[in-house]
Amino acid sequence: MTQKFDTIIIGAGISGVAIAFELSKKGYKTLNVDKLPAAGHGSTGNTCAIIRTHYSTLEGTAISYESYFYWKDWENYIEIKDERGLAKFYNIGSVVVNSKQHEIERYMKIHDELKIPYEIWEPERLLRRMPHFTDDSFYPPKRPEDPSFSDPPTDKIGPVVFFYPNNGYINDPILSVHNIQRAAESKGGKFLFNSEVVEIRRYKGRVNGVALKDGRKFDAPVVVNAAGPHSFIINRMAGIEDRMKIKTRPLRHEVHFVPSPPEFSYEKDGLCVGDRDAGGYHRPETGNLILVGSEDPVCDEKDWVDNPDNFNRDVTTRQWEAQVYRLAKRIPSLPIPRRPKGIVDLYDVTDDWIPIYDKSDLPGYYVAIGTSGNQYKNGPVIGQLLAEIIEACEKGHDHDKYPVQVRLRNINFKLNTGIFSRNRKVIKDSSFSVLG
């Protein structure tokens, strides 16, 4: 006999489990299906887990600030005890090093409107806080193979950098997802692992459930695609990919690990750093290491992947050198190991790097996709957005004509979810980059 649910969610990363939690709190009988062996073991498990409040759009900034309050009070959000313990938020703050070419006034205006705390530092204050830094400018970012990469700098950063006191990172993203899984299960949510969806079942013009590779079938009037880098494959199964103006595709990314400089302990005194001037970001990592990523400057060629189940998972010397050597410009005393060390995974990227949280042209089929490596921090709010969009649409609301307005729970802001529409125009204000 086919098992029946109110909602089937494809994926058990941060988005999928948060959607299950919010729907289960509303009384929905949910099932998360994931081809991997446990929750959070896909791209979520390799996120850098940076929690930040600075985004390039008002709505993106609002949900990131809203999410901060969930991470800050994680135990109350989860509502239950997890036998593995709870993930920890290291609220260490972050600095953003702007080049003189970046439009900083727009970010200030957004933060002022939302009453998000920030400080404006002159470069001298940055050097007092991070004395291992140099305040030279390296904009535009270059690659080591560029003949001018080693040319002496001719300018300085600034004139200001931003410090965001509410920012930081999560110590264990997989544990955080397990926490939400347990929270959803406490409300009746079910999870099925090692199970691959091969068909989006339909009946009389709407979703009717899913079929698995092993032959099992599950019924549900609502199916949610939260499949991360596999989202485009699921959309093709549903027959809706070509009917979306904004598409998704997987992008291969690397992050690397290097030791702290000898005169400064990142484990003890480090901050999260977004260095737009040098084209990278970094944060403290366990073992007095530095985690080093790329902000996707123009000089870095994008490594798009056709098959998310078959891509190069090894750190490449070429990208290791690009990211680590650029950091070494900012930190002249940076120790550079002989052997590269890092992790490789995929982002799920839309045309404008802003996610899609929406219904679709197939009744009963919803999407939480295109999260591009930067939406981990927004997981709890993603759950709320999808739950409210689903509830409204299933009651007959015309979400395409009148996008659902969601009142965020922690800040005084009503979010127009239309910015995350599958049929929007490319949002020019996007940074087209990520702190993953």
Structural contact between residues 222 and 6, judged by C-beta atoms closer than 8 angstroms = yes
pLDDT tens, residue by residue, 344-375: 999 999 999 999 999 999 999 999 999 877 89
Q: 369 or 427, which is more confident?
A: 369
Sole residue written with tokens 């949002």: 427
pLDDT number for residue 435: 54
Instruction: Count Cβ atoms within 10 A of the Cβ of residue 83 and give its class: 0-12 exposed, 13-18 middle, 19 or more buried.
Output: exposed
- Lowest model confidence (mean pLDDT) among 101-115, 223-237, 375-389: 101-115
**What is the CATH T-level fold of the domain 94-165+252-346, as seen in this structure?**
D-Amino Acid Oxidase; Chain A, domain 2 (3.30.9)
pLDDT number for residue 178: 98
Amino acid at the residue 275: D
- Phi first, then psi: what are they for 180, rounded to 5°? -70, -35
Residue range(s) in the chain whose domain bears CATH number 3.50.50.60: 3-86+172-247+352-420
d(CA 345, CA 48): 11
d(CA 388, CA 304): 33
Q: Which residues contact 225 (CB under 8 A, 6 or more apart)?
A: 10, 11, 231, 234, 235, 238, 365, 366, 367, 368, 369
Amino acid at the residue 65: Y
- Lowest model confidence (mean pLDDT) among 94-98, 143-147, 336-340, 372-376: 372-376
pLDDT number for residue 434: 61
**CA 378 centroid distance within chain:** 7
Q: Which of 280, 297, 298 is nearest to 342 (CA)?
A: 280
pLDDT number for residue 54: 85
d(CA 223, CA 238): 10
d(CA 361, CA 206): 9
Q: Which of 138, 153, 54 is nearest to 99 (CA)?
A: 138
- Is a pLDDT exceeding 80 seen at residue 307? yes
pLDDT tens, residue by residue, 61-111: 999 999 999 999 999 999 999 999 999 999 999 999 987 777 788 889 999
pLDDT number for residue 377: 95
The pLDDT of 117-139, averaged and rounded, is: 97
- Give Dmax (Cα) for the chain: 72
pLDDT number for residue 387: 98
Total-model pTM? 0.97
Where residue 436 falls among pLDDT bands split at 50, 70, 90? very low
Q: How many CB atoms lie within 10 A of CB 89?
A: 19
End-to-end Cα separation, the chain, in angstroms: 43
**CA 7 centroid distance within chain:** 24
- Is a pLDDT exceeding 50 seen at residue 306? yes
Where residue 427 falls among pLDDT bands split at 50, 70, 90? confident
Percent of the chain scoring above 70 in pLDDT: 98
**What is the CATH T-level fold of the domain 3-86+172-247+352-420, as seen in this structure?**
FAD/NAD(P)-binding domain (3.50.50)
pLDDT tens, residue by residue, 151-190: 999 999 988 899 999 999 999 999 999 999 999 999 999 9
Percent of the chain scoring above 90 in pLDDT: 92
Amino acid at the residue 370: G
- Rank 296-300, 349-353, 413-417 by mean pLDDT and report only the highest: 413-417
Residue range(s) in the chain whose domain bears CATH number 3.30.9.10: 94-165+252-346
Q: Which residues contact 123 (CB under 8 A, 6 or more apart)?
A: 135, 156, 157, 158, 159, 160, 161
HEC secondary structure over the chain: CCEECCEEEECCCHHHHHHHHHHHHCCCCEEEECCCCCCCCCHHHHCCCEECCCCCCHHHHHHHHHHHHHHHCHHHHHCCCCCCCCCCEECCCEEEECCCCCCHHHHHHHHHHHCCCCEEECHHHHHHHCCCCCCECCCCCCCCCCCCCCCCCCCECCCCEEEECCCEEECCHHHHHHHHHHHHHHCCCEEECCCCEEEEEEECCEEEEEEECCCCEEECCEEEECCHHHHHHHHHHHCCHHHCCCCEEEEEEEEEEEECCCCCCHHHHCCEEEECCCCEEEEEECCCEEEEEECCCCCCCCEECCCCCCCCCCCCHHHHHHHHHHHHHHCCCCCCCCCCCEEEEEEEEECCCCCEEEECCCCCEEEEECCCCCCHHHHHHHHHHHHHHHHHHHCCCCCCCCCCEEECCCCCCEEEHHHHCCCCCCCCCCCCCCCC
- Is a pLDDT exceeding 80 seen at residue 430? no
Average pLDDT of the residues of the chain: 95
Q: How many CB atoms lie within 10 A of CB 342?
A: 19
Where residue 431 falls among pLDDT bands split at 50, 70, 90? low
The pLDDT of 408-416, averaged and rounded, is: 97
**CA 262 centroid distance within chain:** 32
pLDDT tens, residue by residue, 237-277: 999 999 999 999 999 999 999 999 999 999 999 999 999 99
d(CA 70, CA 21): 14
